[in-house]
A and B are shown apart, each in its own frame.
Chain A
Amino acid sequence: MELFTNQILAGISTGAIYACMALAVVMIYQAIDHLNFAQGEMAMFSTFISWQLMQWGLPYWVAFVLTIAFSFVAGIAIERVMFRPLVKAPILTQVAGFIALYSIINSSAGLIWDFTIKQYPTPFGSAPFLGSQLISTHQAGMIGVTLLMLLGLYFFFQYTRVGLAMRAAASLPESARLVGINTSWMVALGWGMAAAIGAVAGILIAPVVFLEPNMMLGVLIYGFAAAVLGGLTSPFGAVVGGFLVGIFENLAGTYIPGVGNELKLPIALALIISVLVVKPAGLFGRAIVKRV
């Protein structure tokens, strides 16, 4: 029984990473209606920027704020320059565009900062949290920040005019345009916010997985899985999905014989797919009704 609770705790602490990333994934999905494969690389690049700023002697929080501002602007710029011209292209072509972006960012980061693994500081310290060896203060801090972001997003979307406009633009673009919402800029804003959230996720994840150009590869896959599991339309679902994926993964690794580190991912994915077969819109997603 103690093993079981311990594994759940360990699952929650890795789940926090996935929850963070899943939140960014859902954000962009809300704005552009598909998954951005380059999301992880964008977050990785932002994290490198903050690392570079700290190398130049800026304090942690100043670097943090500057990086988020940079990511927000960069997210908007990428949308305006690269994806606006493709807005009328078929969806699969846009997905190919994401893969191109992925390749460009990954390769440039490798050239600028090379592929050696770098330490990344944490503002929360790494002592055991509340006497538990499995969750450190950093991970607790990460869960806290994720929940804060979730709350912030909730208030943004429910109680601000811009949030309302973004929701309108995402769900019914044509009607939104008719009531005077600039839907094209709403998409850009969605990219900016997703990039900013991704930057926060990257900065929080870096102390755990260490900083290098491929750090986000695994995390993004789990982030996608978490977002899909929770329902791509619900930020709350994404966070819950993140924790569930973390727990699944740990329990599968402990209790199913013959599962090494390598098979954890396929098993977690298989479990998620079985959930999706029963609930195709995810745990908290709203079912989409199609007009025939």
Chain B
Amino acid sequence: MSTALEQVVTDAPAVEAVPKRAMTLGSGTSLVVLGLLILAPLVVKNFIIFQLTMLLIYGLAVLALNILTGGSGQFSLGQSAFYAVGAYTSAILMETYNVNYVLTLPISGILCFGFGFLFGLPALRLSGVYLALATFALATAMPQLLKLNFLEPWTGGVQGLVVTKPDAPFGLPMSQDMWLYYFTLVITIAIYIASVNLLRSRSGRAFMAIRDNEIAASAMGVDVALYKTLAFGVSAGITGVAGSLGAIVVQFVAPDSYTITLAIQLFLGMVVGGVGWLPGSIVGAAFIIFVPNMAESVSKGLSGAVFGVLLFIVIYLVPHGARQVAIFCQQTVAKYRKR
């Protein structure tokens, strides 16, 4: 099969180009979503508030992957590793060194940014399947590394660490769950706005130029190596913050919570939400949190099969994810207005 002739191909980019304007929501829709997110916890039970908080956290992690894949066109199955580093950073700082939980977030963000940036360097030479394998290796290695003996005084080994749940500050009259929800919401919104602005900035345009055509981008003076590693760093940093929040909300970190399964879930979340469409991240997160539960309630023994079929139906109906639905709605509304 390996002929002497070298194959010449004109590759379509692995990730299709998303127009810049299509990457966000209109301001009206944004306000409605924001309003719903603020009011939701006032009417539901504590357990659902907890689930909503997890939804925001997974949404952040999917958003991070979306910046990497949808923005700069690099593929990663290693997000669970960055999530784990963030979670452990917070847990260790809070439990061993008594650092305030709010302060642990920027620390894990910066730490993960550095980690991701460094990991991005060898990954520069790899793309497509090869990059997937490299990031995959990172994801499989992470739980084992956390279990290493000489790290045990900090990580607690296989047992993991228990994290204390913070109370609402200033004597605010709300439950811990509700406080954590609003805390997470504020951080999620801040990161979301920052990400949208990042993709609209000079750096964001550089990411997208690399995604659409690396050679053309470098010909136009984009420092491909710098921006590719930068995308890795930013994505890892956001994932790290998500991991920290996850550790605080779940109150527990253990190596086996951060296996390759988590990375695959985040990937599915991105696809269902629409690759390169940032608001879709929350839809994708909802899919990976609620659909497995639904599948479980349909049939215990066949929950995997039910999940698979549901996933398949979704990608069959909307191969471009929630973005496709959004664009469809937008067009329908526009048509209606013209009349």
User: In the complex, how many angstroms separate the beta carbon of B300 from the nearest chain A beta carbon?
Assistant: 10
Q: A3 contacts the other chain (Cβ, under 8 Å)?
A: no
Q: For chain B residues 280-323, which have a beta carbon within 8 Å of chain A?
A: 301-309, 311-312, 315-316, 319-321
**One of A103, A110, A232, A266 near B137 (C-beta < 8 A):** A266
Asked if B130 contacts A93 (CB within 8 A), the reply is no
Q: CB distance B144 to A280 under 8 Å?
A: no
In the bound complex, CA of A228 to CA of B135 (Å): 14
The residue in chain B whose Cβ has the minimal distance to the Cβ of A111 is: B301
Tally A-B pairs: CB < 8 A: 166
- Digitize B174-204: 1 where CB-to-A-CB distance is under 8 Å, 0 elsewhere: 0000000000000000000000000000000
Asked, given contacts A92-B69, A262-B144, whether A228 binds B130 with beta carbons under 8 Å apart, the answer is yes
- Please give, as numbers and ranges, the residues of chain A lying within 8 Å of B14 by CB-CB distance: 91-92
Q: Enumerate chain A residues within 8 angstroms of B321, measured Cβ to Cβ.
A: 93
* Pairwise interchain contact A96-B6, C-beta atoms closer than 8 A: no
Interface residue A73 (Cβ < 8 Å from any Cβ of B):
no
A contact residues around B75 at 8 Å (CB): 92
Contact status A100-B125, CB under 8 Å: no
User: Which residues of the partner chain B approach A284 to less than 8 Å between Cβ atoms?
Assistant: 2
Residues of A within 8 A of B126 (CB): 273, 276-277, 280
Q: Let me know if B129 and A86 touch, CB within 8 A.
A: no
1/0 per residue A97-141: CB within 8 Å of B?
Answer: 101111110111011000000000000000000000000000000
A103 touches B319 (CB 8 A): no
Q: For residue B316, which residue of chain A has the nearest CB?
A: A85
A99 x B311 contact (CB < 8 A): yes
The residue that B15 contacts in the complex, of A92, A266, A291, with Cβ under 8 A, is A92
Q: Tell me the complex Cα distance, A286–B3, Å.
A: 9
Main secondary structure, interface of B, reads: helix
A97-B1 in contact (CB<8A)? no
Q: Is the CB of B144 within 8 A of A263?
A: yes
| A245-274 with Cβ < 8 A to chain B | 258, 262-263, 265-266, 269-270, 272-273
Is the Cβ of A273 less than 8 Å from the Cβ of B137? yes
A89 to B144, CA, bound (A): 36
Contact B215 A292 (CB under 8 A): yes
In the complex with contacts A30-B1, A233-B1, A100-B302 CB distance below 8 A: no
- Min Cβ gap B138→A in Å is 8
Q: Are A269 and B302 in contact (CB under 8 A)?
A: no
Bound-state CA distance A291–B9 (Å) is: 6
Contacting pair B311 A100 (CB below 8 A): yes
Question: Within B6-27, which residues are at the interface with A (CB < 8 Å)?
Answer: 6-11, 14-16
> Which residues of B lie under 8 Å from residue A289 when comparing CB positions?
6-9
Contacts of B15 in A (CB 8 A): 90-92
Q: A89 and B305 in contact (CB under 8 A), knowing A225-B133, A286-B7?
A: no
Beta-carbon contact of A290 and B308 below 8 Å: no
Known contacts A97-B312, A100-B312, A276-B134: A287-B6 contact under CB 8 Å: yes
CA A78 to CA B205, docked complex, whole Å: 40
> Which residue in B8, B137, B272, B305 is a CB contact (below 8 Å) of A96?
B272
Is B224 at the interface (CB under 8 A from chain A)? no
Instruction: Confirm or deny: B141 has a beta carbon within 8 angstroms of a beta carbon on chain A.
Output: yes
Proximity string of chain A (148-167) to chain B, C-beta cutoff 8 Å, 1 when within and 0 when not: 00000000011000000001
> Which of B110-118, B235-243, B263-271 forms contacts with chain A?
B263-271
Contact partner of A269 among B7, B9, B69, B141, CB < 8 A?
A: B141
Whether A107 contacts B302 by the Cβ 8 Å rule is yes
Q: Which residues of B contact A273 (CB under 8 A)?
A: 122, 126, 133-134, 137
**Chain B: residues with CB nearer than 8 A to chain A?**
1-3, 6-11, 14-16, 69, 75, 122, 125-126, 129-130, 132-134, 136-137, 140-141, 144-145, 147-149, 215-216, 264, 267-268, 270-272, 275, 301-309, 311-312, 315-316, 319-321
17 pairs across A/B with beta carbons < 8 Å?
A35-B129, A86-B316, A86-B319, A92-B69, A93-B271, A96-B271, A100-B309, A104-B304, A108-B302, A171-B7, A228-B133, A234-B2, A263-B144, A266-B145, A269-B136, A273-B134, A289-B9
- Which residues of A approach B to under 8 Å, CB–CB? 30, 34-35, 82, 85-86, 88-93, 95-97, 99-104, 106-108, 110-111, 157-158, 167, 171-172, 221, 224-225, 228, 232-236, 258, 262-263, 265-266, 269-270, 272-273, 276-277, 280, 284-292
Given A35-B132, A110-B301, A289-B8, 6 new contacts (CB under 8 A): A103-B305, A167-B1, A270-B141, A276-B125, A277-B126, A291-B8
Q: Which 5 pairs from chain A and chain B are nearest by CB?
A: A107-B304, A266-B141, A269-B137, A89-B319, A103-B308
